[in-house]
Chain A
Amino acid sequence: MNFDSRKYVIVIFFVLTGLLYSIKLFYMQVVDDHWKLRAKQIAEQRREITPPRAVVFDRNGKKIVENKTYYNLMMREADMEELDTVAFAKLIGWEPEEVGKRYRAIVEGEGKTLIRETGKYDPNYRKGRSYPFIKELTQDEMSRIAPNLENFKGFREEVASMRNYPYANGANILGYLNEVSAEEVKNDPFYKGGHHIGRTGIERYYEKQFRGTKGVKYIVQSARSVVIESFEDGKYDTTAIQAPPIHLGLDVELQAYGEKLLQNKKGCIVAIEPSTGEILALVSSPSFDPNLLVGKKNISKNYPKLVNDENKPLFPRPLASEYMPGSTFKLIQALIGMQEGVITDQSGFTCNKSVVGCHNHPHPSSVTKAVQFSCNPYFYAVTRRIVQQKKKKSSFHDAEIGLNNWAKYMHSFGLGKRLDTDITGLRSGVIPDSKYYDKWYGHHMWKFSTIRSISIGQGEVQLTPLQLANVAAIMANRGWYYTPHFVKSIGDDGPLEKYRVKNKTMVDKKYFAPVIEGMRRCVHEPGGTARRARIDGVTMCGKTGTVENYIGGVKQKNHSVFISFAPMNNPKIAIAVFIENAGGGGGTWAAPTASLMIEQYLNGEVKSTAKEKRIMDAKLSNFK
């Protein structure tokens, strides 16, 4: 066989490859514009400008969250020329070795992303990207650095903004910001390393409404010279647009007043405008100055202190603390009883102290009186009738049906489920149903007598203060509620769609009148449990609660609870007050606190100065 002809195969191979490459090159370089545009994209720099976040106003137009300007010193290695470390360190007031340390920290740490495929962190540092070399410089600090910055190529100042809270109130509502995580940068192109994101509160819930629209500035840097010019005269540049202001239903004066009332106490106040569902105040005590958690420096200094504080100021009690509601719960029991037809407004039960303890009071011959006197045996009897309707032969089976029916009513009052309020950290409370008790006792192994404490709001029942305040709003509205919410409007838009939907309870309006009359008498008639809550010239309705509680089987001082709305007709405010381990009854601490809040809100000032002084000065023993 002669192999000489095979040389042609090789020659053809060489020539074809050369030809193919030439054609491809002709297409890439001469015909197709795609790569030219791509090259432009690569060679130009995109500088993104993040607008300051939306400012927040309270219901009376007072600015409660604003921005203050600060500066980041940005570094871009691609622009750097030999850096005189010593001179640079002197300019920024550092030790020379710190400069190198910071540089290495950026190279190794910034833009690090988790690669899912390998499970390893990939340092994603790029010389062509800007990274903050020093963050959060004040105007003063920057003005010392800026004039000399042009001697250090690759460094520039970047204006950024940080939150400021003129009122220092409502920290648990507003929430705080901190730097985005690598994961967040990866998942949302809006964020770059060093950006801030809402971590808690409404800053987190409304993150997208707060952050605004980024602006972009295109800059072209030619190869040899470091001349920077705007790309095509800024044709493609866009300006950063701040998000429209956000108005809250919150009354910052009321909020501040509430925080002052609860100073040195653990507890909560939640006030709602019943006709709209707007939250007027949401006090979590103890709280903290939100300015403590502004910016990286402050957060790293103050956050550990707040986290380790025994009184747990970071814990949003009104949203996440689940308490037994005590006697305030009786209002709903009465309503359900009447709606179910197991009692009428004129039903009377003997105050038989052998089943549940009670205090001495006149005979509860009607729903109104039972509410007024807060008679335990009465509501024991009512709830028994609700749960055991004798629809089944087996009392166990009967209790199962009755309890589940009862739970359904409770859900319609927004209890036992998480309210869809515009904030994070909400909890659902507990409304036990048959499944719940089946787990404890076994299927058909329990009946009303087993679970009777729920009738007076003790035992397994748990509510958050926000839910309790919502119950007050339901009472004020006689049977319906708007889901409580903070944000009244965003720019020109009203509240979110879901806050414009009326939620109806399963109890008809007509059954509310006797219960509300009972609530009025609680405050205004002799024998009522909340006599300390009276305010001159305002007809108030309220209901006290005194919650027995135990820690590890040891009885603690009672929680003091009060829910209320005022005025009785055309209510303007519904409120729930919860003071932990206050001792005494609901009328001792919670009721006067609520009345002060109502007085402040309705009248704009408080005349009951003695009452005010008593509450403010109280330092309860559980507060450390």
Chain B
Amino acid sequence: MRQNESLTGSFDWALFAVYILIMSMGVATVYSAAYDSDHPSLFSFSEVYGRQLMWVGVSLFLGLLVFLIDSDIYRKFSLPIYGFTLALLIIVLLLPERNGAKSWLGIGSFGIQPGEFAKVGTAILLSSFIGSINVKQQNVRTVLLVSAIIGLPMILIMLQPDAGTFIVFTAFLFVMYREGVTFDPIILKFVNLIPGIKFRQTWVGIHFIPIIFAIVFLCLTTLIVSHEPLLLDTFPGEEFSGYWKILISLVFFYIAAYFVMRWIFAKRDRKRAAAIAIIGFLISVFISFVVNFTFEKLPSHQRLRIELLLGIYEGENVQDGADYNRNHAMAAVGSGGFFGKGYQNASVSSVETNHVPESETDFIFCPFAEEWGFAGSLLLIGLYLFMMLRIVKMAERQRSTYNRVYAYSVAVILFYHFAVNLGMNIGFAPVIGIPLPFFSYGGSSMMSFSVMMFILLKLDSQRKDVLN
């Protein structure tokens, strides 16, 4: 039964306030970054700040619409909504390219990027599907269906191609992890083919997602760390392969892990600690060695691409060459100092000087950090953290799995955008063009994130209605 509450009865005002705050800061930064003295008004719709303001208006209007609709709609119509966003992704592939990719649907400068909306559609269907199954009775079919829900839009986005959005879709792995959806049934299928083995579950299958992350982390660290040769003071003039650093670190890491495990494990399990440490060490060495060896053997142009992506390129032209964008972005951020250069005073990342490309979209953090310094940057990180943690808290208070999965989807997608976008401004992440949510200029991302946010707020406000 539906409780007779006012429309905003349990509305999460705190989350809404942070959303509005970040969006306002975004508009202000776009205004500063893209300022054109011929059109000084914030409402000049010929300029990006005027248009951004318009997108904010449109987004709030869409949000209101979303809020007026009963939240049950999204669950009932999850498949059509998903199908619709998927159809947009297919249509966009049939249209001519724009800027080297087929990611834009629209006329002239007004249009949408279906990739942004596919996130919402996928989140809705994934929530609805996971909400409908019992995770304790997972089988191959459920795993394959979950994989298909996430995989289909990923394939279509890969075809555009749009690496940034593609990567963002791996955020759903976190959601699966939280819900305990694993790849175990598939792995068991294969493992149990071996005669004499009949596992009911595998450790790898259950911890599939953390293991993937551990392996990716190990691979990236290997490439980045091995890149610089090892120089030892005791052997002046000698250059050792940078790979030794990885090897030494792994030794120390697993020795430490062994002692930690000994301390955690019960007495009878202590022998296992040694076995786990040794097996883990051997596997890690194997993986890192293969990665390093393959990288060294790659043709130079492919190596260059990887080096650029990882930000470890050290060619002659570091200052003005291939690493131009990242270098200038970091200079802009780094020159901000503690309190910044003051609003509208960015000298590196203003459009006028044009040293940082895309300073109103993907590199929006540059003008912000340059003008507001460390103080402003810390505030912005704080606001995003608050927003993400608030959503996690919100997720955990939901009664239905559907609502919880959806809330987690929103949280991790926001996290991905936040981490990658800021990361590329400060040299922690490769330069992948994805917007900073609610902050970067751009209609599609503003609208899709807002819709995503308002669906969440609506679900949350009606959480007591739903009985699972």
| A residues in contact (CB < 8 Å) with B | 1, 3, 6-7, 9-11, 13-15, 17-18, 20-22, 24-26, 28-30, 32, 34-36, 38-43, 78, 82, 117-118, 127-128, 221-224
In angstroms, Cα B345 to Cα A224, docked, is 7
| Nearest 4 A/B pairs, CB to CB | A35-B334, A39-B335, A3-B180, A117-B301
The complex places the Cα of A14 from the Cα of B411 at a distance, in Å, of: 10
Contact B346 A223 (CB under 8 A): yes
Asked if B355 and A117 make an inter-chain contact with CB atoms under 8 angstroms apart, the answer reads no
Residue B54, interface by CB 8 Å? no
**In this assembly, does B373 line the interface, its C-beta being within 8 Å of a C-beta of chain A?**
yes
**Contacts A7-B178, A7-B392, A25-B378; A117 near B300 (Cβ below 8 A):** yes
A26 to B, closest residue via Cβ: B374
Q: Are A25 and B333 closer than 8 Å at their CB atoms?
A: yes
Contacts of A224 in B (CB 8 A): 35, 37, 344-345, 350, 352
**Are B336's CB and A18's CB within 8 A?**
no
Question: Which of A6, A22, A117 is B381 in contact with, Cβ under 8 Å?
Answer: A22
| Interchain CA distance A28-B178 in the complex, whole Å | 34
- Whether B426 pairs with A39 at a CB distance below 8 angstroms is no
Note all chain B residues with C-beta closer than 8 A to A15. 385, 389
User: Which A residues touch B136, using CB under 8 A?
Assistant: 1
Instruction: Please state if A18 and B330 are interface contacts (CB–CB under 8 Å).
Output: no
**Quick one: given A28-B334, A222-B347, are A11 and B389 in contact (CB under 8 Å)?**
yes
Question: Can you identify 22 A-B contacts, CB atoms within 8 angstroms?
Answer: A3-B179, A7-B178, A7-B395, A9-B210, A10-B408, A15-B389, A17-B415, A17-B419, A18-B381, A18-B382, A21-B381, A21-B419, A21-B423, A22-B381, A25-B426, A29-B338, A29-B374, A40-B335, A42-B331, A78-B354, A128-B354, A224-B352
Are A128 and B338 interface neighbours, CB within 8 A? no
Any A CB within 8 A of the CB of B422: yes
Cβ-closest chain A residue relative to B365: A25
Q: How many contacting A-B pairs (Cβ < 8 A)? A: 138
Whole-angstrom distance from the CB of A479 to the nearest CB of chain B?
A: 51
Contact for A35 among B330, B344, B412, B422, CB less than 8 A? B330
- The distance in angstroms between the C-alpha atoms of A547 and B372, with both chains bound, is 86
CB distance from A572 to the nearest CB of B (A): 53
With both chains docked as a complex, state the minimum distance between the C-beta of A97 and any C-beta of chain B, in angstroms.
24
- Looking at the complex, which one of B180, B300, B353, B381 makes contact with A1 (CB distance below 8 Å)? B180
Are B392 and A10 neighbours in the complex by a CB distance under 8 Å?
Answer: yes
Quick check: A42 and B348 within 8 Å, CB to CB? yes
- B51: interface (CB < 8 Å): no
Interface centre among A24, A25, A30 (most CB of B within 10 A): A25
Known contacts A21-B426, A35-B334, A224-B344; 14 further A-B pairs (Cβ under 8 A): A3-B135, A10-B178, A14-B388, A21-B419, A21-B423, A25-B374, A25-B426, A29-B369, A34-B334, A36-B334, A41-B331, A43-B347, A117-B300, A223-B350
Question: What's the nearest-Cβ distance from chain B to residue A502, in Å?
Answer: 43
**Which residue from chain B places its CB closest to the CB of A11 in the assembled complex?**
B392
Chain B residues contacting A29 (CB-CB under 8 Å) are 333-338, 369, 373-374, 377
Complex alpha-carbon distance, A38 and B415, angstroms:
30
User: B244: CB under 8 A from chain A?
Assistant: no
Is the beta-carbon distance between A43 and B348 smaller than 8 angstroms? yes
- CB-CB under 8 A from B346, the residues of chain A are 223
Residue B385 contacts which of A6, A18, A30, A41 (CB distance < 8 angstroms)?
A: A18
Give the nearest-CB partner of A15 in chain B. B385
Q: Using a CB-CB cutoff of 8 Å, which residues 299-332 of chain B contact chain A?
A: 300-301, 304, 319, 327-328, 330-332
Instruction: Let me know if A21 and B428 touch, CB within 8 A.
Output: yes
- From the candidates B328, B382, B395, name the one contacting A42 in the complex (CB within 8 A): B328
Task: Tell me how far the C-beta of B92 lies from the nearest C-beta in chain A, rounded to whole angstroms.
Answer: 28
In the assembled complex, B384 has its CB within 8 A of some CB on chain A: yes
A173 to chain B, nearest CB (A): 37
Tell me, rounded to whole Å, the shortest Cβ–Cβ distance linking A330 to chain B.
58
The answer on a CB contact under 8 Å between A36 and B392 is no
B210 proximity list for chain A (CB < 8 A): 9
Q: Are A35 and B331 within 8 A (Cβ)?
A: yes
Instruction: Determine which residue in B334, B369, B423 has the highest number of CB atoms from chain A within 10 A of its CB, and name it.
Output: B334
Instruction: Answer whether residue B233 sits at the interface, using C-beta atoms and an 8 A cutoff.
Output: no
Contact A39 B378 (CB under 8 A): no
Closest chain B CB from A30 CB (angstroms): 5
Alpha-carbon gap, A24 to B377, bound state (A): 11
B174 to chain A: which residues have CB within 8 Å? 10
Q: Which residues of A lie under 8 Å from residue B395 when comparing CB positions?
A: 7
CB distance from A191 to the nearest CB of B (A): 15
Distance from B375 Cβ to chain A, minimum over Cβ atoms (Å): 9
Whether the Cβ atoms of B389 and A14 lie closer than 8 Å is yes
A36–B422 touching, CB < 8 Å: no
In the complex, chain B residues 395-450 whose Cβ is within 8 Å of any chain A Cβ: 395-396, 408, 411-412, 415, 418-419, 422-423, 426-428
Q: Which residues does chain A contribute within 8 Å of B384, judged by CB atoms?
A: 18
**In the complex, B177 has a CB within 8 A of chain A:** yes
A10 to B331, CA, bound (A): 32
Q: Check A39–B332 contact: CB distance below 8 A.
A: yes
Q: Is B5 an interface residue (CB 8 A)?
A: no
**Chain A residue at minimum C-beta to C-beta distance from B375:** A29
Complex: how many Å from CA A82 to CA B39?
13
Does chain A have a CB within 8 A of B38?
yes
- Do the beta carbons of A32 and B334 come within 8 Å of each other? yes
Q: Specify which chain B residues have a CB less than 8 angstroms from the CB of A127 in the assembled complex.
A: 354
Min C-beta distance of B213 to chain A, whole Å: 9
A41 to B319, CA, bound (A): 10
Kindly provide the distance from the CB of B420 to the nearest chain A CB, expressed in whole angstroms: 11
CB-defined contacts of A35 to chain B, threshold 8 Å: 330-331, 333-335
A34 to B412, CA, bound (A): 34
Are A39 and B334 in touch, CB under 8 angstroms?
yes
Which of A14, A20, A36, A222 meets B335, CB within 8 Å? A36
For B419, the chain A residues whose CB sits under 8 A away are: 17, 21
B374–A39 contact, CB under 8 A? no
| B-side contacts of A41, CB under 8 Å | 319, 331
- CB-nearest residue of chain B relative to A7? B396
Which residue of chain B has its CB nearest to the CB of A221? B353
A221 to B347, CA, bound (A): 8
The docked-state distance in angstroms from the alpha carbon of A1 to that of B135 is 10
Q: Known contacts A21-B426, A224-B344: does B415 contact A14 (CB below 8 Å)?
A: yes
Find out whether the CB atom of A38 lies under 8 angstroms from the CB atom of B327. Answer: yes
Chain A residues contacting B418 (CB-CB under 8 Å) are 17
| Bound: A254/B420 CA distance, A | 75
Q: Which residues of B contact A6 (CB under 8 A)?
A: 177-178, 180
Which of A30, A32, A222 gathers most chain B CB within 10 Å?
A: A30
Q: Among the listed B331, B336, B345, which residue makes an inter-chain contact with A223, where contact means beta carbons less than 8 Å apart? A: B345
From B174, B345, B352, name the one whose CB has the most chain A CB atoms within 10 angstroms.
B352
Complex Cα distance A391/B12, Å? 113
In the bound complex, residues from chain A placing their C-beta under 8 Å from that of B38 are 82
Q: Which of A20, A21, A34 has the most CB of B within 10 A?
A: A21
Residues of A within 8 A of B382 (CB): 18
Q: Who on chain B is nearest to A82 by CB? A: B38
Return the contact of B334 from the options A9, A38, A118 (Cβ within 8 A).
A38
User: In the complex, what's the smallest C-beta–C-beta distance from B160 to chain A, in angstroms?
Assistant: 22
Residues of B within 8 Å of A1, CB to CB, are 136, 180, 206
Complex alpha-carbon distance, A1 and B180, angstroms: 9
Task: Mark out the residues of chain B between 121 and 160 whose CB falls within 8 Å of any chain A CB in the assembled complex.
Answer: 135-136
Contact digits for B92-136, partner A, Cβ 8 Å, 1 yes 0 no: 000000000000000000000000000000000000000000011
Kindly name the residue among A6, A9, A28, A221 whose own CB sees the greatest number of chain B CB atoms within 10 A: A28
Q: What is the 8 Å Cβ interface bit string for chain B, positions 38-70, against chain A (1 contact, 0 not)?
A: 100000000000000000000000000000000
Identify which of A13, A39, A41 gathers the most chain B CB atoms within 10 Å of its CB.
A39
Q: Smallest distance from the beta carbon of A279 to chain B beta carbons, Å?
A: 40
Q: Which residues of B contact A13 (CB under 8 A)?
A: 415
In the assembly, what is the distance between CA of A520 and CA of B299, in Å? Answer: 71
Are B178 and A128 neighbours in the complex by a CB distance under 8 Å? no
- Give min CB distance, B37 to chain A, whole Å: 8
| B residues 357-383 in Cβ contact with A at 8 Å | 369, 373-374, 377-378, 381-382
- CB-defined contacts of A221 to chain B, threshold 8 Å: 353
Tell me, in angstroms, the Cα distance from A435 to B140 when the chains sit together.
81
